Structure 1
Amino acid sequence: MFASSDPLANNLPQNKYPPATLSNFYQCENNALININDDEASLNTVNYFGTSVSITLYNVEHKKAKSMLCNALSVIQEYHYLASNYSTYGHVTNIKTINESPAEKHQIDPLLTELIAAGIDWHQRSGGYFNIALSPVIDLWRTHRFACLKGNSQASECSIPSQTELNHAALLTNINDVSLDRVHNTVRMKPGMSIDLGGIAKGWMAEKVYDQLKVDGAEQFIINAGGNIRHLGLHPEGRQFATAVEDPVCKKSNYQLAKCNEPSGQYHEVITGKDITVVSSGNYLRYFVVNGQQYHHLIDPKTLYPKPKGIATTVVLNSHQLYADVISTMLFLMPLQTALDYVNKRDYIEAVWYLNEQGDKVESNKFDSFTGN
């Protein structure tokens, strides 16, 4: 699957930084909170990717720490502007720009070409469970969810898309109708289409931040990009970093269940490793209720509906971390046995599936190598 000749694995774009004339978009001081003390330096921002992003460096010289963190922020900013499908920006042609005029040929940044190309390639690699062109269907579900939540879940405001609406939207989701020129960096689509990089861009960005920190000389750090955990090296105490995976049922219940009163009940796994990525996909954060049925935001391209079974999938990657979001999403959407077979055939990935509110779980063959069980 990931042969050494894979162009996505071996010819990924190098990080680049914008000219000084674009400083309004790429300021460090006003777009993140930076703290530097004796043993660690940290950056926190809520301005990008619709979530919080934090970076903590350990055992870095004070005079280098701020520069490292600001360089990392530049990477976050660059991918935020390129991948956004919510806003356009005057200095860049991004996903929102493309979606507003899909039939027009757009000249795009080579970094965005690589990102879209990876999304296209993963449609085939995932057996169709990952599709960046599913955006028209996702938008339908999102519109109904927002209307329901805005109406405070009143029955009159809560509905799901009709089958006719979904079938019509599905006509605009053929990945082959996305025409990407990977050499000349242009893209155009069938009229009415749109693409969404929400299932790949954040994990991609986190790995590019990781690359930049290593280039700048960081050897011990943690990146938390809205729940995408990426770390390198050992904790300053000499142990491996530990990532506690939140129990999705506690999160979904707003910690009202009895088991959620104790720390041991709030987390269903503690994952340790030296140079790994941990990321989860699930139905417990963004959902709405219609006639007693919950509908979450992860839409199955095969059915055009949210997957009805399963609560969360947590993935641990010891390589190919660039694709962490893609892999966690597709493994959540796949039938369980298909997903298990996929993971167990690949030595760079392990996963655990949280199946139901009773807490039943299924693990891949070597998942316990990361939990100490």
Structure 2
Amino acid sequence: MAKLTQTITAISLFIISSLSPSKANNTEVLKTIASKYSTDTISQFYKCDANALINVEANKATLNTVKYFGTSVTITVFNQPQSQAKKQLCHALNVIQEYHFLASNYSTYPHVTNIKTINESPTDLHQIDPLLTDLLAQSIAWHDKSQGYFNIALSPVIDLWREKRFACMKAKNKQTGCQIPTQHALEQAAQFTQITDIKLDTKQHNIRLKQGMKIDLGGIAKGWMTEKVFQQLVADGVNQFMIDAGGNIRHKGLHPQQRLFATAIEDPLCKKSEYQLATCANFDGQYHEVIAGENITVVSSGNYLRYFEVGGKQYHHLIDPTTLAPKSTGVATTVILDDNQIYADVISTSLFLMPLEQAIAFANKHDYIEAVWYLNEQGDKVTSESFDKYRLTPQ
């Protein structure tokens, strides 16, 4: 069974999306890399062999890299001529590299103005790459589409929680070294989280923030990059492939065995317990759903991987903009999209953070969305109206 499935560590909320993503021609990414950067820059930042492991066999070629987006990215293409497969995979890697450099809020790079560059001097007027303009414009638009649950300007609040989590991880004495941010500090930080204070000029490709602001594309960039890689592979003539970008699963075409790709969704409680629970001893216990579909994306959001504990209560990394704190209910959310999957991360995170009834209503209102929520440590789940059609074995 394991050979027939692509496992992801996640949750339970699935989305089938027909939202209109950016219409930019993705082959422009490669053209602009070649035209806007010097030979030395390309050699330093966009090499293929030095930054990924590539294995080409008859009817199958695989690329794996752990250098970008803080995770492992694996791309597997099927039934491509061996003479072309490596070039196709290297093109895909260039797309990963470009969006990593542009979207990073952890490091600056000499050849781009990226999110960290902007955050370090928020009130300056920054000239940015059109690729980043497009990503930022869609990120801003999704604030309203998500009913306020997706906000790239929430970074000052997120930073307070992140600092406390990292301090707790390093503390030798957890009782004294683990604390949560004060309500006063959170409210002070919240003054700098208004999405309307991001001044983005989509025609001139520049941006300016209000003093004290920071932005964070962590809730959209990996899913955006995954779809851009998908577009690049299709542009290069690849019709059967699978992308696994740190749990963002993207399929194209049928499995080489001429069946649908199947994805097993890992039970979040097994992952959280490091498989120490008795129920995690076999496949049926380890995976709470197995879904199948053609040309789909499977993406997850949840509270069980990055968290810390204070006073017997756990605090995870997904911050509810309405409370300025981690959501206290729910365990996980996984989304499935069958078209225009570029917003997968945004939707999965938003539907995790929304109150359950609101999230269910949101999913059922839109016929491109199906979802399953993993609710609690008893394993209770709820799904949207037509989720069952994606189950490998309908219930």
The residue that corresponds to 1:89 in the other structure is: 109
Instruction: Compare relative contact order (CA 8 Å, sep 6+) and give the higher one, 1 or 2.
Output: 2
Instruction: Map residues 154-173 of structure 1 onto 2, 5 A cutoff.
Output: 154-173=174-193
RMSD: 1.4
Give, as a single letter, the amino acid of the residue that structure 1 aligns with 2:135: L
**Once the 2 structures are TM-superposed, how far is the Cα of residue 151 of structure 1 from its aligned partner?**
1.1
CA distance in 1, matches of 2:190, 2:60: 49
CA contact (8 A) 2:302 2:333 kept: yes
Q: Secondary structure at the match of 1:47?
A: strand
Q: Secondary structure at the match of 1:203?
A: helix
CA distance in 1, matches of 2:359, 2:388: 17
**Once the 2 structures are TM-superposed, how far is the Cα of residue 318 of structure 1 from its aligned partner?**
1.0
Quick one: percent identity of the two aligned structures? 62
The residue that corresponds to 2:293 in the other structure is: 273
The residue that corresponds to 2:214 in the other structure is: 194
**Once the 2 structures are TM-superposed, how far is the Cα of residue 10 of structure 1 from its aligned partner?**
3.7
1:98 to 2:111 alignment: no
Q: Secondary structure at the match of 2:207?
A: strand
CA contact (8 A) 1:155 1:290 kept: yes
The residue that corresponds to 2:40 in the other structure is: 21
**Once the 2 structures are TM-superposed, how far is the Cα of residue 349 of structure 1 from its aligned partner?**
2.0
The residue that corresponds to 1:66 in the other structure is: 86
Which residue, out of 287, 303, 310, partners 1:290? 310
Please list every run of at least 4 consecutive aligned residues from structure 1 whose deviation after the TM superposition is greater than 4 angstroms. Answer: 11-14
CA distance in 2, matches of 1:153, 1:371: 46
Give, as a single letter, the amino acid of the residue that structure 1 aligns with 2:254: L
Q: Name the TM-score, length of structure 1 as normaliser.
A: 0.97
The residue that corresponds to 1:238 in the other structure is: 258
CA distance in 1, matches of 2:218, 2:316: 15
Give, as a single letter, the amino acid of the residue that structure 2 aligns with 1:146: F
CA distance in 1, matches of 2:27, 2:137: 16
**Once the 2 structures are TM-superposed, how far is the Cα of residue 12 of structure 1 from its aligned partner?**
6.4
Residues 153-195 of structure 1: CA deviation (Å, up to 9, x unaligned) = 6111100000000000000000000000000000000011000
The residue that corresponds to 2:7 in the other structure is: none
Residues 105-155 of structure 1: CA deviation (Å, up to 9, x unaligned) = 000000000111111000011110000000000000000000001115611
Q: Secondary structure at the match of 1:16?
A: helix
Q: Secondary structure at the match of 2:254?
A: coil
The residue that corresponds to 1:174 in the other structure is: 194
Q: Secondary structure at the match of 2:343?
A: helix
The residue that corresponds to 2:352 in the other structure is: 332
Unmatched 5+ residue regions in structure 1? none
**Once the 2 structures are TM-superposed, how far is the Cα of residue 347 of structure 1 from its aligned partner?**
2.0
Q: Secondary structure at the match of 1:310?
A: coil
CA contact (8 A) 1:318 1:349 kept: no
Residues 310-344 of structure 1: CA deviation (Å, up to 9, x unaligned) = 00011111123000000000000001111111111
CA contact (8 A) 1:103 1:188 kept: yes
**Once the 2 structures are TM-superposed, how far is the Cα of residue 14 of structure 1 from its aligned partner?**
5.0
